[in-house]
Structure formats: structure tokens, C-alpha cells
Amino acid sequence: MRILYLGKSEEIYTILDEVASLSQSEVIKIGSVKEALDILAKDRNFHGVVAHPKVDNIPSLQVLAFMKRDESLKDVPFIIIAENITKDDTDYYKAMGAAEVFEIPFNPLEVFLVITNKLKDAKGEEVVKQILHEAKKDKSILLKIIELIKKLFGKK
């Protein structure tokens, strides 16, 4: 899977990328809304977008609006991650079309579960299996997930 991360946080990018690497997936960090729009206009091979509500004071919902107008991107899950999010904020983003809204700190595994489930609902289970299978199965994925969780929670 290819995930676009729209934000400037190196920590969030690193965590998302580590979790993505467990399934041979890729997270691409984009630092501006304009750059995200340019990339999505040229390369539609993305399976999810994870974004902060604003990047450089520009609403990331501009990217979601672009995706909703594009036939090949309209079913790609768009996830908002934010600090100090209110229920009204969550309701607003979901009403605008966000697949999910997570408050920082968040569980990165949940992000990938939401992306996978939304893709499965929109495109079917076989398509999701094919996307994940293309990334070459790793037999020790469960062990890697356990190690990552231990690392996240500081257990040895």
C-alpha cells in the first residue's frame, strides 16, 4: 500500500512509516497542501491519505475536495489526525468526507486498519488482498508488530 502523509511532524511520519513497513507498505511525507495536490494530480496510485487539519495554515480538506472530484481517488480513505480535537471538529471532518479522525497521540495500527477496511468496503476484499499481496508477504509480520508495540510502550 502507498499512503500519503500530509504534515510536518517527523515523529508521526516515522511511526506511520515503521508500521507501514511491517506490511511492505510505503508512507510518503508531503509538507504542503500544494505539493500534495500536485502529486495526486500526477500519481493516483495511493491507497490512503493521513493529514493534519491544516498544514502551513492551509486546510488539508482542499486535498480531500480534489480527491472527491477525481474518479480514481474518490474512494481513497482520508484520515485526519489532530491534537485537542473536539467532538464538533470530528463531526465536521466526517461530514466533509473524512474516513476517520484520530486525536494525537493515536494508535498507528488503527490508521492502517481504517484504510484497509474502507478500501475493502469501497473496492472489495479481493482488491485489498491483491494490494497487500503485491507488497510481498512477510512471514514474521506478527513478531514485528509485537516488537513495535513493545517499542512504542517501552517494554523489553
* Single-letter amino acid, residue 77: P
Q: How many CB atoms lie within 10 A of CB 84?
A: 7
- Separation between Cα atoms, residue 134 and residue 36, nearest integer Å: 24
The answer on pLDDT for 151 being more than 90 is no
- Non-local (6+) Cβ contacts of 18 within 8 A are 108, 148
Would you give the DSSP letter of residue 24? T
- Separation between Cα atoms, residue 64 and residue 139, nearest integer Å: 35
pLDDT tens-digit series, residues 90-139: 999 999 999 999 999 999 999 999 998 888 888 777 777 776 666 555 54
Domains assigned to the chain = 2-152 (3.40.50.2300)
pLDDT tens-digit series, residues 31-67: 999 999 999 999 999 999 999 999 999 999 999 999 9
C-alpha cell read off for 54: 491544516
The answer on pLDDT for 149 being more than 90 is no
- Non-local (6+) Cβ contacts of 114 within 8 A are 77, 79, 99, 100
**Omega before 77 within 30 of 0, i.e. cis:** no
Residue 85: predicted pLDDT: 94
Span 66-87, average pLDDT: 95
The CA-atom distances, in angstroms, between 111 and each of 42, 54, 71, 136 are 25, 19, 23, 21
